[in-house]
Structure formats: C-alpha cells, structure tokens
C-alpha cells in the first residue's frame, strides 16, 4: 500500500498567487494547496515531502492511506470514494488503480491510472491558471469486454486541515444565493440537488476557510461545480482531522453504462484559493470568467435593457409595445426585449409552450414592424423563449405526446402547468432547433432570453433514466445555436436564478439573477452571486417603485444604485411612467452608461463594516487604481447611532484621492444635525490612510444608498 516516500515524485502547479503540490506514488495526492511558495526547487520539494510523512497511529490500518485525488474503497479509504461502479453480476465493484503515467505541460497535469484486473483507465486532468483558478475533471474509460455501470464519479480535492468553517448557499424562487455559515469540526457538510436544473435551492458551490474568514482576511478555498443538473457537494472532516472536498454530478439509477471503449468525463470543479479572504478569491473567479469563459464574447459595452415582463405580462398589443419601445429609447435604453406572451395562444401560463409561432391574433402583422421600429430607434431587439418546455394544452403536445420527458405509465406533477421535452429524442431536438433557428434566421433578433420555468421529475428517454443526458443535450442545443448564430446573445434564466453556473455561461452571455426586483432583496441576492460572478453577467433591473414580488416600495435612489452594480436594465412599463419618473430613469441610465466600463472591467470588492448586517458596500477599482466607485447601502436601521468607519481596500497607498458624491438619498442631510464634513469637503485623502485609518460613515436611513467616486490626483 502507498505511503509517502522521500523519493516520491512531486509535481508543482504554480499560479500567480497560489500553488498546488501533488505527490505521485501508486496514487496521486494533493499534499499542498495554498499560497505560492518562493522556494520550490527540487531539493526543497523533496524536503517538504519528507516533512509531510504522517505518523501511523494504533488502532487503524497498519499503513498510511493518503486521501488522494481518487480515493478508493479497495485501498482503505473509508471516506466517500471517488468512483462507484460494477460490471454485471456485481463484479469489479472495488477497483484499485495504480498511476501509470503523468504528463505536465506548464499549468496542466494529466495523471493516468489503470486497474489491470477490471480493465478501467482513469484520467485526472488538473490545471491551475494564471488567474489562480484550479480546474479539475476526471475521465473513466472502459477497456473491458463488457459494460461497466457507474453509479458515482466525483472530483476530490484534499484541503488543509485548518479549513474549519463553511460558507454555503441556500435559496428559493425570488430569494437566490442566501448565505449560511457553519463550523466544520467533525462530520461534515453535504448538499444534494435533485431538481434537474442548477436550482435556486442548492447553488453548486461552497467556500471553506479558516475560522472567521472574511472579505479581507483568512485563508479561503472557493469551489464551484460547473454543471446545470443534479449534483452532490460535500466536505468531510475525517476522524483523523484531515479535510476533503468532493463534488460530482448525481447519476440516476442505471443512467451511466459504459460499453467497451466508452468513456465518461465528470463536470469540471473550479476552485479559487486566497490567503487574503473572500474579495481576493472572488476577483480570481471574476478574472477567470472574463479571460477564459467569456473571452471576447462580451465585445461591446453591456447595453441597457428594457424587458417587457413586469410592464405588460401577457397583455401584448403591438401598438402599445411600439410605444413602450419609443419611450424606452427616449430614456436611453439600448436593448428592448419582448418577454413571454408573443407566441400562438399564449395568454397566460397554462398553455402553448412548444408552439413557437407568432400569435397572429395579437400580432396580425407579425413581429417585423416592431423589430424594425426597435432598430430604427437605435436599440437591439430581444425575444423570450422557453425552448425545452411544453404544455399539454399546445398543438405540439397534441401532435407529439411522446416527446414528454417522462416514464411511460406514470403521471407526474406539473410545474407552472408545464412539462419538459425529451431532448434526447432527435425529432424533438431538431424541432426546437428549427424553431429557434427560424426566428434567428428570418428576423433581426439580437438577443434571446432563454427561460426554464420548472424542475424536472422523471427524466427518462425510452423509459431509461436520463438526467445527465438531458443536461448534455441542453448544452448541445445551445452549442448548435451559437455556432449558427454567433452574434446572438443569450440570457440564461430559469424562473430567475435557477440556472446559473459556469458551464452554462460557456454558451450564454448573461444571467437573470432573480425574479425579485425589490432592491433590498436584490442586495442580498447579488452579493451572494458576486462571490462567483462579475457584475457584467448579472442581470439587474430597476423595477417599478412597488415591487411585484414583495409589494414593498423603494426610493429611486435605492433601486437605481442596486441595479447599477450589474448589467442594468428596466423591468416596467415606461408608457405608464410619469415625466418625473422618466427623468429619473434617464438619470440612472446615464449613470450606468458613464460607469459601466469601470464596473465591468475593474476589480470588485465587497466592503466590510462593523455593523455588517445593517450595512453593505460594493466597490470597483480601475486596474490603474486611479479611480474607484463605491456604493454604501444601508439595509436596515443602523445598530448604533454612529455607523463607524468606512475602510477602503484596493487603492494605491501613494496616491491621493478626491471624493465626490455621485448619488445620495434625498434626505441625507435632513435626518441629522450634521453628516461627516469630509463628504462635502473636496478634501484629498491618501490611499493608505483610507485603507487603514478610514473615514467616518454618514448616518443613513434604512433602504437607501450613497454612491461615491474616488479619483486619484
């Protein structure tokens, strides 16, 4: 059995700030994943390996068992194994793999292992890029003469044993990305998502760190599984105190069978390590998204949207919609999107999904006149689809009832009165593609809002389980559409934020974070999301003054500044807005246009305050550190009558900054005898001073926001 030996080959993956050391004996083991080391010559690494040899206590197996990248039952790993499977009659269920080959190319290591007896090959692909993002995936290949059934196949990353706190995410419709902290001393944490889409409830990610980690301090390891289906993520504290993180797609019974020479690859696990807390961890994720996932796909400034949904719902009248477009353009909107309700028979949410033909009753002249009108006004045009879905009350279902994703002979509960289409059915797949392609080929459509409003029950193709294949076919559909229409942008929406993950972002350009446009709720939702995503992919709309989901009323100041830290838009009826309201919308639209290039390229920080539950702050700094934009959001009543200090990270310690108020609550100076004088002083402040000594915070009413510019002189 394997033990660490002084002669163990050791491989090093080096990022800009982080480093991973992997020893290879019979198995490969991550023995270090932390900050970048300065001395990593061969000699130093060998010394380190000797220093890491573990004692062997009484009362356990007689040899040391590494957790390894591929923990195996047959090797005496008593935790969750990375692979579970078998051949017919229950054979070959406990393979023991031996590393046969390791290849390294700069930032990437490929480790191959083999079990001669069961004729399986296991390849681990592990990369650490210059943005300090670790990507790891596994591929299993069946070299045997008969089928191998896989029930589980996971990515496993051993992490440091001081990782004793977890930040995980929970949520629901209209309340996505809520944060939960828990301790990780014994046992562990596990989350499972069986809802068939990425889900509002179990965002596939978590962050572990040392005790009390925060925005600007502590060691943190952020982990995200890029997968839009069912998943399991766990972090275990072994009985000996070692920690291990594992993330996998969940396979339904009988779903994965590898025929001879077939292979299976796991979704990719993305990780970001920082020794300086959460903001630095997020900046690495953000940079990775910008440079490696989006690449140059967001080549133009993120246009300001107007989406019709909360303005008119299903009440479509082309003249009225044209008037909405006219008003939108006059306020400075750059992309106009017609939401649900435009296609055959769709008057409410009980029917017609699947019938992707223009409703001639509502649009007797078709969509072309509106699209031309929108384009003449200088805006892009977008259209809503929910391609994977079908209502039983639809012509499509009446013609092809067998296209339902279901197990024959059973009823299943509907979600929003609808069902899912089996994307593995080639005719169904082609029909959906043809319909989307038709619209994109015959109409000047620049943007699709791609929705998915129900969870999946009974994902079956020909009655066999097909949860993962349904997800893979969804990616294939997106891929086919992107290939044919590379200039069309796509938003991923699933009843708000039900399908937000890195894999879907490879095929799309923006996420609809939530159906909740109440800025107070949005502050929490967007903050949770910001751990993993930069503002330019977060769809953030200003809704009407009274929120349609919470029925709370908010000032324009709070609504505007909350939507500003994302890809901004409006979600309302501009025809009904008063002149005063339109003027204010115009003002926030201009503000967004002025600041979007900084917001969408700069480094983002989440600010920390002493009164952290009442106050929340966002900041973005330019790469040259010459300019920053900060929003200070008072969420609830301040705990104390003074709000403490504002400490500003990320500025240049040798530069002096002039502070200007960009936007403020209307009553800022009316609710106190005096606000801090620096606010109005035009005084210069030194970057180091701002970070370490800070500024006194103003006193603000709940649900209001202050926007400040810091400009270096």
Report, in Å, the least distance between residue 522 CB and ligand GLA.
Answer: 14
359 binds ligand GLA (CB under 6 A): no
Complex with ligand GLA: residue 215 or 310, whichever CB lies closer: 310
Contacts of 681 (CB under 8 A, 6+ apart): none
Instruction: Give the span between the Cα atoms of 169 and 159, in whole angstroms.
Output: 20
Beta-bridge mates of residue 11: 22
Local structure of 340: helix, strand or coil: coil
Report, in Å, the least distance between residue 313 CB and ligand GLA.
Answer: 8
Instruction: Give the span between the Cα atoms of 605 and 278, in whole angstroms.
Output: 9
Interacting residues with ligand GLA between 442 and 461 (CB under 6 A): 451, 453
- Of 664, 633, 658, 635, residue with least CA distance to 646: 633
Structure tokens at 420: 């899912």
Complex with ligand GLA: residue 535 or 539, whichever CB lies closer: 539
Complex with ligand GLA: residue 129 or 386, whichever CB lies closer: 386
496 binds ligand GLA (CB under 6 A): yes
Report, in Å, the least distance between residue 450 CB and ligand GLA.
Answer: 10
Give the helix/strand (H/E) hosting 150: strand 148-153
Among the listed ranges 68-76, 492-500, 598-606, 682-690, the one in contact with ligand GLA (CB under 6 A) is: 492-500
Neighbours of 42 (CB within 10 A): 9
Interface map 372-411 toward ligand GLA (x if CB under 6 A): ------------x---------------------------
Contacts of 116 (CB under 8 A, 6+ apart): none
Among the listed ranges 52-60, 196-204, 489-497, 643-651, the one in contact with ligand GLA (CB under 6 A) is: 489-497
493 binds ligand GLA (CB under 6 A): yes
Instruction: Give the span between the Cα atoms of 126 and 269, in whole angstroms.
Output: 10
Residue from 327, 339, 388, 422 in contact with ligand GLA (CB under 6 A):
339
Complex with ligand GLA: residue 388 or 515, whichever CB lies closer: 515
108, 246, 315, 416, 705 from 344: Cα distances, Å: 51, 46, 13, 18, 43
Complex with ligand GLA: residue 83 or 568, whichever CB lies closer: 568
Beta-bridge mates of residue 337: 307, 382
176 binds ligand GLA (CB under 6 A): no
Total residues found in the chain within this entry:
713
Among the listed ranges 258-266, 393-401, 491-499, 658-666, the one in contact with ligand GLA (CB under 6 A) is: 491-499
Count Cα atoms within 13 angstroms, Cβ side, for 689.
10
Catalytic, out of 29, 515, 573, 663: 515
Complex with ligand GLA: residue 572 or 615, whichever CB lies closer: 572
Complex with ligand GLA: residue 495 or 568, whichever CB lies closer: 495
340 binds ligand GLA (CB under 6 A): yes
Report, in Å, the least distance between residue 600 CB and ligand GLA.
Answer: 22
Among the listed ranges 134-142, 490-498, 601-609, 631-639, the one in contact with ligand GLA (CB under 6 A) is: 490-498
- Of 304, 326, 316, 389, residue with least CA distance to 347: 316
Complex with ligand GLA: residue 202 or 541, whichever CB lies closer: 541
Q: Outline where DSSP puts E strands in 546-655.
A: 567-571, 603-607, 615-621, 627-634, 645-646
Instruction: Give the span between the Cα atoms of 573 and 323, in whole angstroms.
Output: 10
33 binds ligand GLA (CB under 6 A): no
Chain-centre distance for alpha carbon 161: 27
Count Cα atoms within 13 angstroms, Cβ side, for 186.
1
- Return the sign of the alpha-carbon dihedral for residues 317, 314, 350, 479: positive
Catalytic, out of 132, 340, 422, 451: 451
429 binds ligand GLA (CB under 6 A): no
Local structure of 180: helix, strand or coil: strand
Residue from 503, 515, 611, 703 in contact with ligand GLA (CB under 6 A):
515
Report, in Å, the least distance between residue 515 CB and ligand GLA.
Answer: 5
Report, in Å, the least distance between residue 308 CB and ligand GLA.
Answer: 9
Report, in Å, the least distance between residue 293 CB and ligand GLA.
Answer: 23
Residue from 309, 511, 685, 710 in contact with ligand GLA (CB under 6 A):
309
Torsions phi, psi for 519 (to 5 deg):
-65, -30
Among the listed ranges 22-30, 284-292, 493-501, 538-546, the one in contact with ligand GLA (CB under 6 A) is: 493-501
Residue 451 falls in the annotated catalytic set? yes
508 binds ligand GLA (CB under 6 A): no
Local structure of 441: helix, strand or coil: helix
650 binds ligand GLA (CB under 6 A): no
Residue from 495, 520, 542, 614 in contact with ligand GLA (CB under 6 A):
495
354 binds ligand GLA (CB under 6 A): no
Residue number of the CB atom closest to ligand GLA:
340
356 binds ligand GLA (CB under 6 A): no
Report, in Å, the least distance between residue 512 CB and ligand GLA.
Answer: 6
Complex with ligand GLA: residue 32 or 363, whichever CB lies closer: 363
Report, in Å, the least distance between residue 417 CB and ligand GLA.
Answer: 11
Local structure of 4: helix, strand or coil: coil
Size of residue set near ligand GLA by CB under 6 A = 11
Complex with ligand GLA: residue 255 or 386, whichever CB lies closer: 386
Neighbours of 73 (CB within 10 A): 17
136, 467, 578, 602 from 252: Cα distances, Å: 23, 7, 54, 42
353 binds ligand GLA (CB under 6 A): no
Among the listed ranges 66-74, 145-153, 488-496, 671-679, the one in contact with ligand GLA (CB under 6 A) is: 488-496
Q: What is the CA radius of gyration of the chain?
A: 27
355 binds ligand GLA (CB under 6 A): no
CB 695 within 8 A of CB 679: no
CB 270 within 8 A of CB 224: yes
Residue 515 falls in the annotated catalytic set? yes
Instruction: Give the span between the Cα atoms of 607 and 630, in whole angstroms.
Output: 9
Torsions phi, psi for 523 (to 5 deg):
-55, -45
Count Cα atoms within 13 angstroms, Cβ side, for 524.
21
Complex with ligand GLA: residue 19 or 453, whichever CB lies closer: 453
29 binds ligand GLA (CB under 6 A): no
Report, in Å, the least distance between residue 384 CB and ligand GLA.
Answer: 6
- Of 391, 393, 445, 394, residue with least CA distance to 418: 391
Contacts of 632 (CB under 8 A, 6+ apart): 607, 615, 617, 646, 697, 698, 700, 705, 706, 708
Active site positions, annotated = 451, 515
Residues that bind ligand GLA (CB under 6 A): 309, 339-340, 384, 451, 453, 493, 495-496, 512, 515
């Amino acid at each position: 059995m394997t033990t660490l030996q002084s002669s163990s080959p050791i491989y090093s993956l080096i990022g800009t700030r982080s480093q991973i050391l992997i020893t290879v004996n019979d198995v490969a083991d991550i023995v270090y994943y932390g900050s970048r080391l300065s001395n990593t010559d061969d000699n130093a690494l060998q010394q380190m390996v000797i220093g890491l040899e573990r004692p062997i206590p009484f009362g356990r197996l007689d040899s040391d068992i590494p957790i390894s990248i591929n923990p195996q039952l047959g090797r005496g790993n008593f935790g969750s194994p990375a692979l579970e499977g078998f051949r017919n009659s229950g054979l070959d269920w406990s393979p023991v793999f031996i590393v046969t080959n390791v290849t390294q190319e700069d930032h990437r290591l490929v480790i191959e292992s083999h079990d001669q007896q069961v004729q399986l090959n296991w390849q681990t692909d592990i990369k650490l890029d210059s943005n300090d993002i670790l990507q790891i995936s596994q591929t299993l290949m069946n070299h045997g003469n008969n089928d191998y059934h896989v029930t589980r196949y996971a990515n496993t990353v051993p992490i440091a044993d001081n990782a004793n706190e977890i930040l995980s995410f929970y949520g629901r419709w209209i309340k996505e990305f809520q944060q939960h902290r828990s301790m990780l001393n014994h046992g562990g944490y596990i989350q499972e998502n069986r809802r068939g889409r990425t889900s509002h409830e179990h965002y596939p990610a978590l962050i572990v760190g040392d005790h009390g980690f925060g925005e600007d301090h502590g060691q943190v390891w952020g982990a995200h599984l890029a997968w839009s289906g069912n998943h399991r993520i766990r972090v275990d504290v072994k009985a000996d105190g070692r920690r291990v993180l594992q993330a996998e797609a969940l396979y339904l019974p009988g779903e994965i069978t590898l025929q001879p020479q077939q292979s299976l690859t796991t979704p990719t696990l993305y990780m970001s390590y920082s020794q300086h807390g959460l903001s630095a961890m997020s900046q690495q994720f953000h940079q990775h998204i910008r440079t490696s996932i989006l690449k140059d796909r967001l080549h133009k400034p993120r246009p300001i949207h107007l989406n019709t949904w909360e303005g008119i719902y299903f009440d479509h009248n082309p003249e009225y919609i044209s008037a909405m477009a006219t008003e939108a353009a006059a306020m400075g909107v750059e992309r106009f999107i017609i939401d649900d309700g435009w296609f055959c028979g769709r008057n409410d949410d009980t029917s017609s999904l699947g019938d992707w033909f223009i409703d001639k009753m509502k649009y007797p002249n078709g969509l072309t006149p509106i699209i031309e009108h929108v384009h003449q006004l200088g805006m892009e045009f977008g259209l809503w689809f929910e391609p994977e879905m079908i209502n039983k009350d639809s012509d499509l279902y009446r013609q092809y009832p067998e296209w339902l994703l279901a197990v024959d002979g059973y009823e299943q509960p509907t979600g929003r009165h609808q069902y899912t289409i089996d994307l593995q059915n080639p005719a169904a797949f082609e029909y959906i593609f043809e319909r989307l392609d038709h619209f994109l080929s015959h109409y000047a459509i620049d943007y699709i809002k791609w929705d998915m409003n129900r969870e999946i029950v009974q994902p079956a193709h020909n009655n066999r389980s097909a949860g993962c294949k349904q997800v893979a076919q969804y990616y294939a559909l997106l891929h086919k559409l992107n290939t044919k229409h590379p200039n069309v942008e796509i938003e991923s929406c699933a009843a708000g934020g039900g399908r937000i993950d890195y894999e879907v972002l490879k095929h799309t350009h923006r996420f609809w974070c939530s159906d909740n446009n109440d800025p107070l709720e949005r502050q929490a939702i967007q903050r949770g999301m910001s751990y993993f995503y930069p503002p330019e992919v977060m769809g953030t709309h200003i809704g009407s003054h009274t929120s349609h989901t919470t029925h709370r009323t908010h000032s324009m100041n709070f609504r505007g500044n909350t939507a500003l830290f994302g890809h901004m838009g409006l979600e309302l009826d501009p025809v009904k807005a008063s002149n005063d309201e339109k003027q204010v919308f115009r003002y926030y639209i201009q503000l967004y246009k002025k600041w979007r290039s900084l917001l969408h390229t700069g480094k983002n920080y989440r600010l920390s305050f002493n009164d952290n539950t009442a106050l929340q702050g966002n900041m973005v700094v330019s790469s040259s550190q010459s300019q920053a934009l900060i929003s200070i959001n008072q969420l609830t009543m301040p705990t104390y009558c003074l709000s403490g200090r504002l400490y500003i990270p990320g500025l240049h310690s040798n530069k002096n900054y002039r502070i200007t108020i960009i936007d403020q609550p209307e009553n800022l100076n009316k609710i106190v005898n005096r606000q801090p004088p620096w606010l109005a002083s035009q005084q210069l402040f030194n970057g180091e001073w701002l970070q370490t000594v800070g500024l006194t915070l103003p006193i603000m009413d709940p649900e209001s926001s202050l926007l400040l510019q810091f400009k270096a002189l």
